[in-house]
Amino acid sequence: NAGVTQTPKFRVLKTGQSMTLLCAQDMNHEYMYWYRQDPGMGLRLIHYSVGEGTTAKGEVPDGYNVSRLKKQNFLLGLESAAPSQTSVYFCASSYFRDSDEQYFGPGTRLTVT
């Protein structure tokens, strides 16, 4: 099992450019999540999905869109990148049972100049 994988690992964008981050999991998890991690602020939830074809907003959704067309994949899109979106992005997945742990990917470091 590869667990949760993220593509790419690093990316530098110019302001206004767009990109898509890909998350894939091979554990047949129902739930998937996108977080951003900024110094001193812990992880903040951007969007999440409770199943194939469903998405919902988290704490900081503005400027991001997501899609879950296949159960194993969860895509995070930035349509027009801004310097405030410079961050480390983590994808996670979990089963649907209460208190189940979330399994995290290795992260994508994004810099917007």
Kindly determine how many residues on this chain lie close enough to bind another protein according to the rule CB under 8 A.
Answer: 28
- Distance, in Å, from the CA atom of 19 to the CA atom of 108, rounded to the nearest integer, reads 12
CA-to-CA distance for 14 and 80, rounded, in angstroms? 9
d(CA 91, CA 25): 9
Q: Counting contacts by CB under 8 A, is residue 4 touching another protein? A: yes
Least CB distance to another protein at residue 90 (A): 6
Residues β-bridged to residue 86: none
**Is residue 94 within the footprint of another protein (CB under 8 A)?**
yes
Q: Which residues bind another protein (CB under 8 A)?
A: 4, 31, 33, 40-45, 48, 50, 56, 58, 90, 92, 94, 96-107
